[in-house]
Structure 1
């Protein structure tokens, strides 16, 4: 194959699965959702435009602009949500009664263990379904570990003061 016949970046066609690069959107616990989600652009309008484009055109190659715009918006939204989640956990570690904070840390540790086990089981699944499960579980596991770490940082800061 001739080097000149290689597709260039401009010729790359995005598909829906390209939205599964990077970590999945974080799961927001209901008890802190109102604080974490407040004022964050949830990309609803862009997603509606993407679905409308897909409905009209029936295939992704005709919706490249919408796919790119949604992917960029979702990445920005998820970065903001992760930062807010960690900040909220740190604040909880600083402010909630110590027994409750320890119980919350224990629950998060149990969730980490459960997700870790589920990820190991998913490693035996083949094909796209196995990939999707591993992708989702890995993202949730990483987010939960960071939340736990932030909660513990808040608790440690309180102990020092």
Structure 2
């Protein structure tokens, strides 16, 4: 089984915006990024899964218009911080979260352990499928978590995994 983890293309953002679950538009460079992504993918997939976020479904539809959305692929919920910039949130609360992002819950949002639980459930369901080629269009946080689970890495290494806009990571099972 080959699984292609694909991050959505570049969103149009205010620098430093915390946008986990926000529906943000994509930049005008979408078509150029799409063409580059397609060069890294096989022609056909048995199934394409996508986060329900528009920035992911737009890309998923270009890969296969019969894609399936799965809410377990949504980005980490940044709760009270969503829509704000990193420099405008309570810096004390931010430091507490940064010091122990694995266990500390973002105010009004979810913890890394919450993210792990739902992504691990998706991962286990995926591993039970009888497909040969699978595409998963999602967010950096979900891709990092899937790679963490695949590599059996500690959650503390989560942010060391670099995932750029439009990146494609291939996993073989």
Shared fold per TM-score greater than 0.5: no
Superposition TM-score, scaled by structure 1 size: 0.32
* TM-score, reference length from structure 2: 0.30
- Between structures 1 and 2, the one with greater strand share: 2
Which is helix-richer, 1 or 2?
1
Greater relative CO (CA pairs within 8 A, separation 6+): 2
Bigger-Rg structure (1/2): 1
